[in-house]
Amino acid sequence: MRPPACTAPDEGAPLTRISLLYIEQRINLYLRFGCPLRDYQVDRWRRCAVFPPARVFCRIRWETNDYGTTRWQLMVLQSGRPEESMQRVRGVRPGAHILLNAEGERQVRATLARIDAIEAQRIDPADVSPAYWRLLHNRLAARQPLPTYDAERHAAWLVGRALQ
């Protein structure tokens, strides 16, 4: 049985396309978590991942030049529906809801540590409450202590989601 994040979408549901890229020693744009409906190779360097509505996924962007790393970015996004307002994100068509945007080495490493801690509890980060990702984003921006996500918080989220 597939976890809830990987269940099949409704037939005819609009899809969100995520452009991914890898050029050795220059740029790596990849998914850290999330379960795409499809993932296909475009050419030698580019791939495309396709998500149905309401899926949560994490995209990491790392760029470098001859002098070192120039960009660290981690975004937790949620695919949307055409009737919803969504933020425009480069490489995400038609757009997505930005749940978390971490920029710079310090924020990205702190967020990756939280993702690792969630996975250590055998919780799929794609199934984590969107409210947690927003809270984590706000705490990062305010340079406040980062909240933990535990099994109790996750169980409460799953019960609330089931009641909707």
Q: What is the largest CA-CA distance in the chain?
A: 53
Contact 58, 32 (CB under 8 A): yes
Q: What is the per-residue pLDDT for 46? A: 94
DSSP assignments along the chain, one per residue: ---GGGPPPPTT---EEEEEEEETTTEEEEEEE---SEEEE-SSSEEEEEE-TT-EEEEEEEEEETTEEEEEEEEEEEE--TTS--EEETTEEEEEEEEEEEESHHHHHHHHHHHHHHHHTT--GGGS-HHHHHHHHHHHHHTPPPPP--HHHHHHHHHHHHH-
Q: What is the per-residue pLDDT for 70? A: 86
Q: What is the per-residue pLDDT for 164? A: 80
Q: How many domains does the chain have?
A: 1
Q: What is the per-residue pLDDT for 4? A: 41
Q: What is the per-residue pLDDT for 68? A: 83
Task: Report which of 59, 135, 72, 134 is spatially closest to residue 107, judged by C-alpha positions.
Answer: 72
Contact 22, 29 (CB under 8 A): yes
Q: What is the per-residue pLDDT for 5? A: 42
Q: What is the per-residue pLDDT for 152? A: 94
Q: What is the per-residue pLDDT for 69? A: 83
Contacts of 29 (CB under 8 A, 6+ apart): 19, 20, 21, 22, 59, 60, 61, 62, 91
Domain extent at residue 136:
4-163
Mark the ranges of the chain whose per-residue pLDDT is less than 70: 1-13
Q: What is the per-residue pLDDT for 13? A: 66
Q: What is the per-residue pLDDT for 11? A: 55
Q: Tell me what the pLDDT averaged over the chain comes to.
A: 91
For 153, the token pair is 């918080």
Tracing tokens 């939280």 back to the chain, one arrives at: 114
Dump pLDDT digits (tens) for 10-48. Answer: 556 689 999 999 999 899 999 999 999 999 999 999 999
- Cβ–Cβ contacts within 10 Å for residue 84, how many? 13
